Amino acid sequence: MRALPGNGLPVRKPFGFIDGISQPIIRGAERGRARRGENDVVAPGEIILGYPDNLGYVAPAPDSKLFPGRNGTFLVARQLEQNVLNLECYLTDAAAVIATDPRLPRQDPAGIREWIAAKMAGRWREDGSSLVRHPTPPGTPGRITHEKDNDFLFGAEDPDGLRCPFGAHIRRANPRDSFDPGSQVQIGITNRHRILRVGRRYHDWNGACGKEGLLFMCLNSDIEGQFEFLQQTWVPGRDFQGLQNESDPIGGHHLAAGGETMSIQMTSGSMRIPIMQDFVTVRGGGYFFVPGKKAVDFLTQS
């Protein structure tokens, strides 16, 4: 594992994006609520076993008089290799493809590359700020803040995807109110699929060649309805929010035969950028049960 940066510096993925900005808040755990708002609050049962979830149901858990499942949770771990060279080369090539498009913001080639990267992720690599609240790059005159904002709503603030594209990674992973702008009911439905996640960057050196990636881990009370739903429905969905044959531009699986594009919504129609390669490869992983304190006490006494 790579050492954590320390000194309050953000943890970055190998691709350069800041990691772990959007997280759910468990109701009753007040830490961070004032800073992040009510839209991120989920019932304890969405993450911890033995408690009601957002709909009042209690997820099934390993449980007996001897081995209590209450206060446990399920852990998902995945080793995600990230091909940094492929992504950086892609950004250079894509910038050259659209360089003469009059709809492109006036920027130098390096600025165009970062603009494309931000459109793929939904956030700027430099500071993690969202495109919804900060459509112009960091350092732009008149920019008020560089904070890693997260209390925005896609549907209410960017219903047409003119700031954050419909297919951007953060819009897929947490659509918020995208399907019904401003609806608290829709936010509640979306929050049924939230996960509490963390990532650790790793490197695997083999001679002169090194491979980098992210050890992804998340906690959830229903692996099928939370982690697997995200990985099988929203993130890779090729018709997500009306798109046509588009997967997640960063973490999705792209058609080997080519022809797949990423659409960037604009007032005059969508700008299309070709994507013909994958940037993330799953190298391994597993599902685990994390016991609560009483279950740990039982195991240590057995």
Query: Does any domain span residue 265?
Result: yes
In-domain check, residue 7: no
* Cα separation, 134 vs 113, whole angstroms: 17
Q: Per the structure, how many domains does the chain have?
A: 1
Residue 251 maps to a domain? yes
Greatest Cα-to-Cα distance within the chain, rounded to the nearest angstrom: 71
End-to-end CA distance of the chain, in Å?
33
Is 18 a member of any domain?
no
Q: Count Cβ atoms below 10 Å from residue 206 Cβ, excluding itself.
A: 7
The amino acid at residue 274 is P
Intervals of the chain under pLDDT 70: 30-36, 145-146, 205-210, 256-258, 302
Q: Let me know the angle formed at the C-alpha of 199 by 198 and 203, rounded to the nearest 5 degrees.
A: 165
Q: Residue 16 falls within a domain, yes or no?
A: no
| 126 HSE (CA, 13 A, CB side) | 14
Quick one: pLDDT at residue 257?
Answer: 63
Question: Which residues sit opposite 211 in a β-bridge?
Answer: 204
Residue 294 has a pLDDT of 87
Read off the pTM.
0.92
Look up the domain containing 295 and give its range. 25-301
- Dihedral sign of CA atoms 226, 239, 252, 175 in order: negative
Asked whether residue 8 is domain-assigned, the answer is no
Token representation of residue 123: 């956030």
In contact, 71 and 286? CB cutoff 8 Å? no
Whether 102 is in a domain gets the answer yes
In a domain? residue 3: no
